[in-house]
Structure 1
Amino acid sequence: MNTESHPYAGDGNHTASYYAASANPSPERPELIGDHQIDICIVGAGYSGLSTGLHLAEKGYKVAIIEGARVGWGASGRNGGQIVNGLNASLQTINKRYGKDTATFVASMVQEGGEIIRERIKTYNIKCDLKEKNIFTGLTRAHMRELEDRKKLWANYGINNQEMLDKNQLREYVKSDLYEGGLIDHSGGHMHPLNLALGEAAAFEQNGGIIYEMSPVIDVNHKAVSPVVKTAKGSITCKTLVLCGNAYLGHVVPTLTSRVMPVSTQVMATEPLGEALARELIPSDACVEDIRYILDYYRLSGDKRMLFGGGTVYGGADPVDIKAKLQRNMDKVFPQLKGVKIDYAWSGNFALSFSRVPQMGRIGDNTYFAHGYSGHGVTGSHTFGRILSEAIHGDLTRFDVFAKLPWHPFPGGRAFRVPYSVMGSWWYGLRDKLGA
């Protein structure tokens, strides 16, 4: 096992999260040593890389994935575990910016990621505590109008899995007095995110794929006819390269650095609550998130812990005290949990794009990339992995739609993207507090 310090990953092992503590057994994959050649090389063993790799391996391609730490080390193994349909940018926003045809195209695939996840779980018998339904909650009447508009908008695109809940109806699903009501998406859900990633990695290997762990990429030559990826102890030359490092790709590929900004979000896990208290809090066992700009999201784990997340830190830094930060919010939602023991608290980064729309494209002739899910990567990454595999296999139909969407760097470049975003966050946070 390689024990060298990795600049972005500490020693490369999983962070001390509930997910890591309850992960299914998984082998330690070898480090990349020596020079190799293969059809397709993918950088990053998170959902994007694993989804792309598994689709391609199932088609018969010879594929290798290089991971700087462990499989699912980044956002894929740390997130809230919620299967939430849609992108960060709403269909209304996409229609306004890019036109009706693009909005219709996006609407046709907003549920696809969840469908892929369920198919993977079923086909490969992945044990990851899959549960159904997710709920969006509103704290104000303005929030409720926003949810009603969302339901109508999605229905206009033929998506009819959502149902409005007034205050009393919501309490049948979530026993909290904080909310005015909510919207339930019957096609949403939640699961153990790290175990999903580990299961997909095993499925990839069952189909002939190779994964190298603890192998941070130090150089990428995407301009060559046959792209080359270098690590400290080895290299891979390939016919096609796919970059799926997302928030953790760093500055290895400068062309992509300005496109996204790492943003950290935090999650904590209580001690096991027991069946009675867990059912008292969330009788439906659905996952929940509110619709504020800086939101709370939470759900019950398979062993009846409350997994509660929220908050953002632009630039990707960790808060000084995650438990204190999240405990205040959890106590507002569920006063019954005041004083409950917190067993785990952790932080992780997602990649934010300025437009809040994920980016997919190509640099050079044979290098593809996907990133910038902006907090909606659980489903988005699975969909984009399929679209990347389609493009590499020769069908560019869906890839080209995303590749042609305009993107914009954060105002002020790298130096000012964090303070700019903090100012925006402050403004929207103030609107949340005022109920605007």
Structure 2
Amino acid sequence: MAYPDTYYKRTMADGATRPALSGTVECDAVIIGGGLAGLSTALQLARAGKRVAVLEAESVGFGASGRNGGFVSAGYATDGDDIARIAGKETARKLHMLSIEGVDFVRDNIRALGIDDAKPVPGLMSVLRYDDAASLKAYADQTRHDYGYELEYMDRDAVRSVLKSERYFQALRNPNAFHIHPLNYLRGIAREIERLGGLIFEQSPATATALSGPEKRVKTAGGEVRARDVVFTTGGYTGGLNGRLKRSFLPIATYVMVSEEAPELIASAIATRDAIGDNRRAGDYYRVIDDGRRLLWGGRITTHAASTAGLVKELRAEMVGTYPQLAGLKTELAWSGLMSYARHLMPQIGRMSPGVWYCTAFGGHGLNTTAIGGKVIAEGILGASDRYRLYEPFGLVWAGGLAGLAVAQLTYWKLQAQDWWRERAA
């Protein structure tokens, strides 16, 4: 079993490499971080005719943006009632509408740019691990009423006809959601940025910044970018370059594994191409990939360095506990990646000071939220809208440092225990 490499890197359609920054570059905006938030920002600015430069410490999509489960669906990791409690009901509604727009934004980019290698597949099933049909029907009715958004209710028989597991009860299917090969999507966006005249520099970590004047400066080992606006989109891989940003989130590791090729065995357990996520607050997510030949399975989080091999044993235990018929399915690849989580469990999107922007903390929110974050930051820079202000109630609050990490790990264990008891009481 191979751990250092990722499935997405092995299967990326575009193997192009990009140069490191050398010398001085002058532009309208410099984006620090070549993940989904950074590239979405750069794309929208380039589409508006702005000169943009992206600085990436490794390669495009190296971080969690290019190694995740590939889910594109509306909503946030935070419960809608919690969002409304903090931001108000109307702001919560507008934020949810932004998340829906994010789904369409990713889909439209795939179509418009011909990113066929992103391989979008429609459908997402959110399944219950205990019997509670009434709550799902009520949620579907509320979503339809509040947002005009249709979710398909599936009873237990319908769920178990496609998911051959005794663990599952009812589900809501979202036909508008979809799942993709995230790294190929990112590399398609990068190609379009460059086609529009934007510059992307790889192996170019930012080492210093000067942000106080009207002209911002960002230095790397090989050069310097000068621009009116600078955007920080570094996520879980943020270093000490911006102390305020680094203190505002926790780096959390998540884990993914991909099976060997075994289409008949996989089909004996999972007879759908929909992506699947369970309702546990510390749950699993998975989807069949490669036209049914492999299974991608993700879950588990840690707040400290952990052995990927050890976590894979836990993931496999979850998989086999859900689908005993997959006990013989071998894991071929596995990897981990760092996400950023804010204490309030919402994205952090906004302006730090004139010309200094941030777009981060997308752990658990999905590709659509990360993409729409980049879009609204670009709108702010262009003066086209101030929609980024909708996220102001969820700002750069201190995440608690080492104590915050300890609390996060304890909270995760608590959620696991609550899930365990709830399922057994059902």
The answer, yes or no, to whether TM exceeds 0.5 is: yes
CA shift digits 1:233-277 (9 cap, x unpaired): 211111111111111112210011121111111000001122x44
Give the 3 Å change call, closer, same or farther, for CA 152–354 of structure 1 in structure 2. farther
Q: Which runs of 5+ in 2 are unaligned?
A: none
What letter is aligned with 2:202?
E
Deviation at 1:193, TM superposition (A): 1.0
The within-5 A match list for 1:114-125 is 114-125=103-114
Between structures 1 and 2, the one with greater helix share = 2
Q: Distance in 1 between matches of 2:307 and 2:30?
A: 31
- Say if 2:77 and 2:346, in contact at 8 Å, map to a contact too: yes
Q: CA deviation at 1:359?
A: 1.1
Residue deviations 1:395-431 (CA, integer Å, cap 9, x gap): 3331122235455323xx2120111111211221111
Aligned to 2:287: 299
Please give the alpha-carbon distance, in whole angstroms, between the structure 2 residues aligned to 1:302 and 1:50. Answer: 26
- Asked if residue 420 in structure 1 is aligned to residue 410 in structure 2, the reply is no
CA distance in 2, matches of 1:170, 1:364: 50
Alpha-carbon distance in 2 for matches of 1:318, 1:206: 41
By how many angstroms is 1:384 displaced?
0.9
CA distance in 1, matches of 2:103, 2:318: 28
Other structure's SS at 1:105 match: helix
Residue 122 of structure 2 is matched in structure 1 by: 132
Instruction: Find the counterpart in structure 2 of residue 367 from structure 1.
Output: 356
Alpha-carbon offset, residue 224 of structure 1: 2.5
Partner of 1:262: 251
Q: Which amino acid aligns with 2:310?
A: D
Q: Which of 48, 62, 67 is the equivalent residue of 1:59? A: 48
1:314 aligns with 2:316: no
Distance in 2 between residues matched to 1:56 and 1:350, nearest whole Å: 25
Correspondence for 1:399: 388
Q: Is 1:221 matched with 2:219? A: no
Greater shift in the superposed pair: 150-159 or 28-37: 150-159
- The structure 2 residue matched to 1:233, chosen from 202, 216, 222, is 222
Worse-matched range after superposition: 67-76 or 349-358: 349-358
Aligned to 2:64: 75
**Could you list the per-position Cα deviations for residues 121-162 of structure 1 after superposition, in whole angstroms to 9, with x for gaps in the alignment?**
1111111111001011111135x5553443233223123321
CA spacing shift, 1:230–1:404, aligned 2, 3 Å = same
- TM alignment of 1:97-108, pairs within 5 A: 97-108=86-97
Spell out the pairing of 1:36-55 with structure 2 (5 A cutoff).
36-55=25-44
Letter in 2 for 1:409: W
The one-character-per-residue Cα deviations of 1:5-53 (angstroms, maximum 9, x if unpaired) are xxxxxxxxx9501111111123110001122211111011110011111
Q: Which amino acid aligns with 1:216?
A: P
TM-score (norm 2): 0.94
Q: Secondary structure at the match of 1:109?
A: helix
Shift of 1:368: 0.7
Task: Give unpaired runs (5+ residues) of structure 1.
Answer: 1-13
Letter in 1 for 2:126: F
Gap change, CA 1:323 and 1:404, over 3 Å in 2: closer
Aligned partner letter, 2:130: T
Report the aligned-residue RMSD. Answer: 1.8
What's the counterpart of residue 422 of structure 2? 435
Give 1:389 shift: 1.2
Q: Structure 1 residues 145, 130: CA separation in 2 closer, same or farther (over 3 Å shift)? A: same
Aligned to 2:277: 289
Tell me by how many angstroms 1:323 deviates.
2.3
Identity across the alignment (%): 28
Q: TM-score, normalised by structure 1?
A: 0.92
Q: Any conservation in 2 of the 1:216–1:231 contact (CA below 8 Å)?
A: yes
